[in-house]
Amino acid sequence: MEPRSTRAEWAKQFAAKARDYWTDARTREVTGDKDLQLLPGEASVLLRALGLLHRDASMPPTQVRKYLQINHMVGVLAPAIADLRARHPVIRLIDAGCGRSYLTLLIAWCARERWHHRIEVLGVDRNPDVIEECRRRTELAELDDVVRFAATTLDTLDPGAAWRENFAGGGPVHGVFALHACDTATCDAITLGVMLEAELIAVAPCCHAELARGWAAVADRGEEGAFAPVWRSPHLRRESAVHVTDALRTVLMRAEGYDVTAMEFISSEHTKKNTLLRAMKRRSKDPSVLAEYDALVAATGGCGLRLAARLGATREPAARSSL
């Protein structure tokens, strides 16, 4: 990576080029009448770091869809983050399974340029090569003072140690989010958020295989029940597992004291994996809600999620973790 002074000069020159290129007419061609947080003429350095702008500051047609997607993601999460901003001078977030760090950098940029509020983000991914690419992007976007990364798995992550290693000071983690974390990795992110007593948990689940595997085992045993037509069809059990899994997760988070909203956060024309579970901590734990979980598990064949047992363990004081 180039010295900071060289990067700063490049960023200054590229931003000027983008302002000249992105006239009102060109901007409207891409954004239409949408009120977006990140305009290409204003967030040009970030968008270049994310690979969405060319060297001449233009946006290739193949990247327009991704550009609109990431703007929509920020719009969906903005109200919950505004809730945190009203209560905390510094907000600390963990991006669990950060991948190539799109959401990590978007939130950090909006915090600095739009919301004028300090937000520190720790991106976590088990792939060291991905983490190195994230660090390169972050330095290019000039956000490395508020965004750091750790190459580890969620089940071995020590949030306190990771935070002290990467940021000055400490304090509670206010939010945990995970974008398209595969299968039980979404449950790992939820468990981490509950363990840290995070006020915000936002997950966009992907690859709901755990429940489908359980139903397949039930079908192999030849068991009968009202849900048997679903168990016996590989396609139907895969498709049904998506919504039942997310419904079970929603109930489990409600039992932990969260208000949970399930919503479409990316249009289905872009991807079928377009559900966001957004949870805000509003009250004390309410184990009586687990009756709904038990009823839904029983109605669909008796296969639950390991998440239920993991969240039960977090009720013990010894399982608590903080920064």
Give yes or no for a contact between 306 and 144, defined as CB atoms under 8 angstroms apart. Answer: no
* Chain segment 88-115, per-residue pLDDT in tens: 999 999 999 898 888 899 999 999 999 9
Residue 12 lies in a domain: no
Please say if the pLDDT value at position 274 is more than 80: no
**Angstrom distance (rounded) from CA 60 to CA 43:** 16
User: What tens digit of pLDDT does each residue of 204-224 get?
Assistant: 887 788 999 999 999 999 999
pLDDT mean across residues, the chain: 89
278 C-beta neighbours (distance < 10 Å), count: 21
67-89 tens-digit pLDDT: 988 888 888 899 999 999 999 99
Is residue 322 very low, low, confident or very high in pLDDT (cuts 50, 70, 90)?
A: very low
Nearest residue to 105 (alpha-carbon basis) of 38, 39, 40: 38
Chain centre distance of CA 60: 26
Task: Read off the pLDDT of each residue in 276-299 and give the average, rounded to a whole number.
Answer: 94
Q: How confident is the model at residue 316 (pLDDT cuts 50, 70, 90)?
A: very low
Q: Is 286 left (phi over 0), alpha (psi -120 to 50) or beta?
A: beta
For residue 122, report the phi and psi dihedrals to the nearest 5 degrees: -110, 115
Which comes out higher in pLDDT, residue 323 or 216?
216
Is 253 within the bounds of a domain? yes
Q: Can you give the residue range of the structural domain that contains 257?
A: 207-323
Residue 7 domain-assigned (yes or no): no
Asked if the structure places residue 18 within a domain, the reply is no
Token representation of residue 261: 């909203």
- Does residue 146 fall inside a structural domain? no
What's the pLDDT band for 3 if we cut at 50, 70, 90?
low
Residue 108 located in a structural domain: no
pTM of this structure: 0.89
Is residue 152 one of the residues assigned to a domain? no
The total of structural domains in the chain comes to 1
- Residue 147 forms part of a structural domain: no
